[in-house]
Structure 1
Amino acid sequence: MTRLVVVGAGLMGEAIFSGLLASGWAPADIVVSDARAERRAELSERYGVGSGEAVDAVADAQTVLLAVKPADVGGVLEEIGDRLAPDALLLSVCAGVALATLQAGVREGTPVVRAMPNTPARVGEAITAVSPGTHATDDHLAEVTEILGAVGRVITVAEKYQDSVTAVSGSGPAYVFLVAEAMIEGGVHVGLPRDVATELAVQTLFGSATLLRDTGDHPAILRENVTSPGGTTAAALRRLEDHGVRAAFLAAVEAARDRSLELG
C-alpha cells in the first residue's frame, strides 16, 4: 500500500512531500498526481517519487493529501471519492473547504482531516492548524502531525476557527512580505543601496520573529524595549499610528476571514 498519494502537485503539495523526503521518507512511499501530465513527470524525475492518475493512485493509498485549488475540490472528489481504500485517510489542505464538504465527497466512515498550512512550508517553517472530522481518531491526528510536521509546526483547533486561522496565518505571509517590501522601499527612499536595504529589512524581520517566538514575551513588551522616549523608533511608530496601520491590519484580517467564509 502506498504510504501517501498527493493529489494536486502545486507549490504546497510539492513543499509537503519534499519536506517528507528530507525528513527520511523513501521516494517509494509517495505517489504524486496532477492534472498536468508534464508536471507529474517533472516531479517524478526530480524527486524519484511515483506518479500517476489520481483515480488509479488513490485506490492503493494509506493517506491521500488533497492539495488542489478550492474551486476544483468538488470535481476531484467526484472522481476519487469512491476509489479511496476503506481505511484510507483524506487530508485536505484546500483553503476554505469545510469538513462537511469533504466528508460528503467520500464514503461514509472515511476519516477526514482539514488543515491550513502556509507558504513557509517551502523552507520548513510553516505553521499548520488541523481540525479532525467526524471519523478521525487520535491515531489519524498523529499521522497528520507527522506529515505536516515535516514542514513546520502543527496545532489542532476546532473547525470553527479555521476561517480565522486562514486570515491570520494562511494569508499572513503576504502581510509580512508587504511590510518587507515597504521597509526596503523606505530604506532606498532615505538613501540606502537597494541590496543593503533588502538585507537589513529581511534579517530584521527574521530576527524579530525569532526573538518573539523564542522569548515568549508579549509583542508589546518587545516593542517597548526598542522604543526609547523621544527617540527615532517613537517617532516612526507615531507616524504609523497616525496612518492607521494597526486598524488597517485588523481590517485586513477580518476581510480575509470573511472571504474564507465565502469560499467555504
Structure 2
Amino acid sequence: MKQPLTQKICFLGAGSMAEAIIRGLIDTKLLEPIRISAVNRSNAKRLQELSRRYGITIPQAEADKDRLIRDADIVVLAMKPKDAGAALASLASLLHNEQLIISVIAGISTDALMKMFGKELPIVRTMPNTSSTIGLGATALCFSKQVSEEQRRWAEAIFASVGIVKIVDESLIDAVTGVSGSGPAYIYYVMEAMIEGGIQLGLTPETAKELTVQTVLGAARMVQITGEDPAELRRKVTSPGGTTQAALEVMASYRLQEAIIQGVRRSAERAVELGQQLDPSRDQ
C-alpha cells in the first residue's frame, strides 16, 4: 500500500515498540501525526514526550482516553504482557467490530483476546522485534477470520513502515518469537563474546567493538545480497586446516549451534507460557 492511510490509529501503551511504529508511520508519511494518538495507564510524562517529539494526540483528561480509543479506526495493543490482563479487561466496552485491533503482546492468541473482550473482533496478532526502532524490523502477522482484505492491507502497510513483513499462520507465531522476536538479543550475545575475545587478545575495547560490528553487518549483507544459504557462505570462508576451521571446531565442541537452537525453542515455549498466564484454557 503506497497511498497514505486516512484512518485514525490509537496506541494503548507508549513504550519503545509503540514509539518505533509511530516514528515509522510518520517518517514514511504513511499517516499524518494528527491521525495518531497514544494513551497509557499512568505515565503522563512519557505521553507528553511522544507528543512533543512527533506531534501526536494524547489525552488531556481521563475522559479523553476512552474517547480516543472509541474513535480510532485502528487500536494497537502495545502494553507490556504483565500489564495486559487488567488493561484488556477494561477495554471491552470501548471496542467495536468496525475497528481493527492490532496486538503486539507476546503470547496472547486472537481467540484469547476475543474471550477477554467478550466479542468477535477483527484482530491482527503480530510479532515485531526491536530492530523496528531503526526501520530494520522483522515482523510476522496473522489474522483472525474477521479481518477484511482492506484491514489486512492496513496492517501490512503499518509494519512495512518499520521493516519487512511476513504473513504466517497463527500456530507459527510463537516460533517467530523464538527466531526473530527474541533474535536480536542472540546476535548481541554473540557480539559481546567476540568483543571480549578481542579484548583478551590485546585489542582496545573500541577497536574490538568496531571490528565486530562491521563483521556482523557485512555477514548479514552477504546473505542478503548473494541470496546464498548461510551454511554455504560459511563453507566458502572455512579453509581446511585454517584459522576459521580451528575456531569453528572449538565452538562445535561447546555445542554452540545446539545451544542456539534450544534457545530459540525455549523462547517460543516461554511465549506460550506467557499466553497461558492470561488465558489458562490455551492449549499446552
* Shared fold per TM-score greater than 0.5: yes
Q: Is the 8 A contact 2:100 2:123 kept in 1?
A: yes
Q: Does 1:147 align with 2:158?
A: yes
Residue segments in structure 1 that go unaligned for 5+ positions in a row = none
C-alpha distance after superposition, 1:210-245 (max 9, x if no partner): 111222111110001111111110110011001110
2:51 aligned partner: 44
- Provide the rounded CA distance (Å) in 2 between the counterparts of 1:195 and 1:237: 25
Identity %: 39
More moved, 30-39 vs 106-115: 106-115
The letter of the residue matching 1:92 is S
Question: How many matched pairs?
Answer: 264
TM-score, normalising length: structure 1: 0.96
Q: Does 1:55 align with 2:66?
A: yes
1:7 aligned partner: 12
- Provide the rounded CA distance (Å) in 1 between the counterparts of 2:117 and 2:49: 29
2:104 aligned partner: 93
The letter of the residue matching 2:77 is L
TM-score, normalising length: structure 2: 0.89
Q: Over the residues paired in the alignment, what is the CA RMSD in angstroms?
A: 1.4
What is the DSSP-based 3-state SS (H/G/I as helix, E as strand, rest coil) of the residue aligned with 1:105? helix
Matches within 5 A, 1:1-264: 3-24=8-29, 25-35=31-41, 36-52=43-59, 54-106=65-117, 108-264=119-275
2:278 aligned partner: none
Shift of 1:151: 0.4
Shift of 1:54: 3.6
The letter of the residue matching 2:223 is L
- Provide the rounded CA distance (Å) in 2 between the counterparts of 1:14 and 1:106: 25
Shift of 1:107: 5.7
- Provide the rounded CA distance (Å) in 2 between the counterparts of 1:4 and 1:23: 16
Shift of 1:203: 1.0
What is the DSSP-based 3-state SS (H/G/I as helix, E as strand, rest coil) of the residue aligned with 2:92? helix
The letter of the residue matching 1:38 is K
Residue segments in structure 2 that go unaligned for 5+ positions in a row = 1-5, 276-284
- Provide the rounded CA distance (Å) in 2 between the counterparts of 1:212 and 1:261: 31
Shift of 1:136: 1.0
C-alpha distance after superposition, 1:142-180 (max 9, x if no partner): 110111111000011011001111011111111000011
Q: Is the 8 A contact 2:9 2:35 kept in 1?
A: yes
What is the DSSP-based 3-state SS (H/G/I as helix, E as strand, rest coil) of the residue aligned with 1:83? coil
Q: Is the 8 A contact 1:127 1:169 kept in 2?
A: yes
Shift of 1:115: 0.2
